[in-house]
Every structure is written in C-alpha cells, then in structure tokens.
C-alpha cells in the first residue's frame, strides 16, 4: 500500500472516484523508510476506539495502518494528533469498508486486524437501515473475505455490541431513587453473560449482530483466527460523543458548553462503563491469546464494579463542573435497555484481564481532557478538515 499517492476507487454506493492517502510526514516521498515490519490494520482507526489503540501500538514502535473514511464528525482531529505524534510509523488510507478491492489491498500484508469501522448509532440506523446494513454487515463481510483470501490469515478482532442481546425485557428490576437494579441476584452480582440468547433489536442491533455472527462463523467454517468483543459503553479521551453515540462524552461536552442535556426515559438506566485504556489492554490480550480465544464472542465492559445511571452521571458532573446543569426529559428511545452490565468473567478468566480505572477516576480524566481541549475543539487543521470534507462529498 503506498502513501502520498492518488488512486482510483469505487465507494460503497458503487460510484467511482479517486481517494487520497495522506502522508504521515507531509513532503516525505520515501514512505517506506520504517516499512520492514508488517503493519497492524485498524479499520475505523481515526475514531475514538481506533485512535486510542493506534496510539498505544505506535508508542510501542509498531507500524499501524488506518483505514477510515472520516465520516464521523470530529475524528479528523484524532488523525491529526496521531500524525503529529507518530509521523512515519503510520499509514493512512481514506476509503470506505464497503469497497472490497480496497479492503483486500489493506489486509494483504497486515500482521493483525482490528475491525472497528462502523455506522455506530441506533438512531441513524432507524433513519437509514440500508446504509447501516451496508457499512456494518457488508463492510464486515468484505473484511472477512479479505482476511480469508490471505495465505496466512491475520488474526482479527471485531467490535460488536451489547445490543445483540436486545432490550432484556424479561428482567425484573427494583426501581431505586437513581437507578434500576435487577431482582435476580446472579445478574446483579455478575452481569449479563455470553450465554444470554441473541435477540437483535433495531437495525443497528441487526447489522452489528449479523457481522458478529459472520465473524464467529468465518472462524468456524474457514478457520480464520477471529474473535468478537460485545462491548458496553466505552468512554475516554478522543471521544467526540454526541446525542446519538458516546453518551458519557456527550454529557461532559454539553456541561462544558453550558448547553442543556436531554435525558430519554427517566434517567435511571444503568450501564457498565469501561475506560478506553482498559479496553486497549483487552485488545492487546485478545491478540496475544488468539489461539485459545478464536471463534468466540466475549462480553467486554466495566462490569458490576463500574456501573452508573444517567442520573448518577449528572450528579458526578455537577460535582466536577460545579453549579447546576440544565437537564430536560423526553420519551424513551427505541430499543433502549433499562439495564445493561456485562459479565466479563469469561474473558478475564482466560486472559487475566480486568478493568483498572474506576468510574469516578475515568470520568474525571475524560472531563479534564475535554475541558483542556475546548479551545481547540473547532480548530482542526485545514488540510485534514478539508480532506475529510472532500472525501465525504465524494469529490476527491
């Protein structure tokens, strides 16, 4: 894969246009000076999860290739940060996972693959289920085909979601002052395990669920090394959360901007939240232990030790930010779970992983990171922002 060149490609809608690769060291035409080792491919690598993993790998001297169409607003800032911090160890590709030939090219010489590129919001999937399917299900199938076609397939980690377990409507809860709590003691103490029946809710649940099952089946049928993380809410620096996805960061951004926060439902919904550094640890362990983990899905989240309700997050933010937050309430949103907490014991037992960052510490770190960056928030460097705009518009 070359950098700093313009290539022809077809986008996910079948239109043909060129895409650009962006040199990590502008002006450096010798793109392969560090290029002896095989790169680790991260699709969706400019996103919140992808850029944090990329940073960890690059900091350890690994070569990383990012494949991201920069469709998520704000992620061009992550790209800029990675370019400034790591320069020449980084390959960046700006096409779309819906383009099979480009995906094959990106996978061909990869040593490992992390597949994060996705349409990430339930709300957007309700508005455009076909696009959601094309990106999440078809995009993942493209990636699996690309991996299967390599002589020695690189091990793959795919990020699915707890939404594959549906809205857990059969669970009974006690209704506390600030949160729901499961009546079932085992669920209260351990959370939801992988034996829970799959029950895809919302187009997003279906497209991610289909992708999740394809990954498991490709491991079984074609024996590619691959596993699935069914993830709870992840939060931390480099997350540009909005109302549709990334609620912890979204609440913090609203508080910092002095804007009102909308709560859908009564705010007593409980989530186990996982700080990004702990997730990155889990990714590294997943690749390290791939032989014994392949073909499985694992629930990954903060677990029962790291739960918080929406109302409790508002309280914590009130403490961190000082003063009253402006909050108003709307109806429940489709497919919203009253409660979701992951039982992470299976993955923990096999790898030794457990989350280290507690809710209070993690939220404070996110708050401080966002507060420090507020002035740069709208100041992505022109070259990257312009590139993102042009790619999005399909004009390159």
Ligand X SMILES: NC(=O)c1ccc[n+]([C@@H]2O[C@H](COP(=O)([O-])OP(=O)(O)OC[C@H]3O[C@@H](n4cnc5c(N)ncnc54)[C@H](O)[C@@H]3O)[C@@H](O)[C@H]2O)c1
| Per-residue mark of binding to ligand X, 67-106 (x: CB under 6 A) | -xxxxx--x--------------------xxx--------
Q: What are the backbone dihedrals phi and psi of residue 272, each rounded to the nearest 5 degrees, phi first? A: -95, 120
CA end-to-end span of the chain, whole Å? 18
Is 146 a binder of ligand X (CB under 6 A)?
no
Site string for ligand X, 149-188 (x = CB under 6 A): ----------x-x---------------------------
Least separation in angstroms between CB 55 and ligand X: 13
Give one DSSP letter per residue of 163-229, joined into a string.
GGGTT-TT--EEE-SS-EEESSHHHHHH-B-TTSPP---HHHHHHHHHHHHHHHHHHHHS---EEEE
Size of the site for ligand X (CB under 6 A): 29
Torsion angle, CA of 294/224/228/290, rounded to 10 degrees?
Answer: 40
Q: In this chain, which of 39, 50, 237, 303 binds ligand X, going by CB under 6 A?
A: 50
Query: From the CB of 137, what's the least distance to ligand X, in Å?
Result: 12
3-state secondary structure of 99: coil
69 vs 309, beta carbon nearer ligand X: 69
Return the DSSP state at 342.
B
Cβ-closest residue to ligand X?
A: 47
Scanning 21-29, 48-56, 84-92, 333-341 for contacts with ligand X by CB under 6 A, the matching segment is 48-56
Count of CB atoms within 10 A of residue 259's CB? 11
In the complex with ligand X, which residue's Cβ is closer, 109 or 244?
244
Chosen residue from 39, 44, 155, 355 binding ligand X by CB under 6 A: 44
Task: Report, in this order, helix, strand and coil percent for the chain, each rounded to 5.
Answer: 45, 20, 40
Residue 70 or residue 227: which is nearer to ligand X going by CB? 70
Give the whole-angstrom CA distance, residue 232 versus residue 359.
14
Question: Which CA distances in Å does 207 have to 131, 214, 332?
Answer: 10, 11, 22
Per the annotation, the verdict on 204 as an active-site residue is yes
Residues 262-281 that bind ligand X (CB under 6 A): none
Please report whether residue 313 would count as binding ligand X according to CB under 6 A: no
116 contacts ligand X (rule: CB under 6 A): yes
For 56, the token pair is 């960890």
- CA dist., res. 380 & res. 326, Å (int): 28
User: In this structure, what DSSP letter does residue 245 have?
Assistant: B
CB atoms within 10 A of CB 193: 15
Question: Does 357 interact with ligand X (rule: CB under 6 A)?
Answer: no
Please list the residues that pair with 65 across neighbouring strands. 41, 91
Q: Residue 212 interacts with ligand X (CB under 6 A)? A: no
Sign of the torsion formed by the C-alpha atoms of 374, 378, 381 and 387: positive
Min dist CB 266 to ligand X, Å, is 22
- Contact between 45 and 22 under an 8 Å Cβ cutoff? The reply is no
By CB under 6 A, is residue 47 in contact with ligand X? yes
Complex with ligand X: residue 154 or 246, whichever CB lies closer: 246
Closest approach, Cβ 122 to ligand X, in A, equals 10
Place of tokens 């669970």: 171
Nearer to ligand X, 28 or 390 (CB): 390
The answer to whether 125 contacts ligand X (rule: CB under 6 A) is: no
Query: Alpha-carbon distance 314 to 324, whole Å?
Result: 10
Which residue among 165, 180, 204, 240 is the active-site one?
204
Closest CA to 301 of 180, 155, 165: 165
Binding track over 213-252 against ligand X, x by CB under 6 A:
------------------x-xx-----------x------
Q: Residues in the site for ligand X, rule: CB under 6 A?
A: 12, 44, 46-50, 68-72, 75, 96-98, 116-120, 135, 139, 159, 161, 231, 233-234, 246
- Catalytically active residues, by annotation: 204
């Amino acid at each position: 894969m070359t950098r700093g060149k313009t290539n022809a490609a077809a986008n996910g809608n079948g239109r043909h246009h060129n895409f650009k690769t962006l040199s990590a060291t502008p002006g450096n035409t010798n793109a392969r000076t560090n290029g002896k080792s095989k790169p680790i491919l991260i699709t969706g690598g400019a996103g919140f999860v992808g850029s944090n993993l990329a940073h960890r790998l690059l900091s350890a001297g690994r070569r990383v290739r990012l494949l991201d169409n920069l469709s998520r607003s704000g992620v061009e800032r992550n790209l800029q940060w990675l370019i400034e911090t790591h320069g020449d160890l980084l390959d960046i590709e700006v096409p779309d996972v819906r383009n099979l030939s480009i995906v094959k090219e990106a996978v061909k010489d990869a040593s490992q693959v992390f597949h994060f590129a996705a349409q990430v919001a339930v709300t957007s999937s309700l508005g455009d289920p076909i696009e959601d399917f094309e990106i999440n299900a078809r995009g993942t199938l493209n990636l699996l085909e690309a991996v299967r076609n390599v002589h020695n397939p690189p091990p793959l980690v795919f990020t699915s979601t707890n939404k594959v377990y549906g809205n857990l409507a059969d669970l009974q809860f006690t209704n506390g002052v600030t949160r729901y709590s499961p009546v079932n003691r085992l669920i209260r103490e351990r959370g939801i395990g992988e034996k829970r029946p799959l029950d895809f809710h919302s187009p997003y649940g279906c497209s991610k669920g289909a992708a999740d099952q394809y990954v498991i089946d490709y491991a079984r049928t074609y024996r590619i090394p691959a596993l699935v993380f069914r993830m709870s809410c992840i939060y931390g620096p480099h997350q540009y959360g909005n109302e549709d996805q990334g609620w912890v960061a979204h609440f913090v951004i609203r508080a910092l901007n002095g804007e009102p926060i909308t709560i859908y439902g009564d705010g007593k919904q409980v989530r186990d939240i996982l700080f990004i550094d702990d997730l990155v640890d889990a990714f590294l362990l997943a690749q390290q232990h791939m032989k014994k983990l392949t073909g499985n899905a694992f629930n990954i989240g903060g677990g029962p030790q790291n739960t918080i309700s929406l109302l409790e997050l508002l309280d914590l933010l009130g403490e961190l930010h000082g003063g009253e937050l402006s909050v108003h309430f709307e109806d429940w949103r489709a497919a919203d779970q009253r409660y979701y907490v992951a039982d992470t014991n299976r993955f923990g037992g096999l790898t030794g992983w457990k989350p280290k960052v507690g809710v209070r510490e993690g939220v404070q770190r996110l708050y401080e990171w966002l507060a420090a960056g507020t002035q740069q928030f709208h100041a992505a460097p022109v070259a990257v922002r312009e590139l993102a705009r042009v790619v999005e518009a399909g004009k390159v």
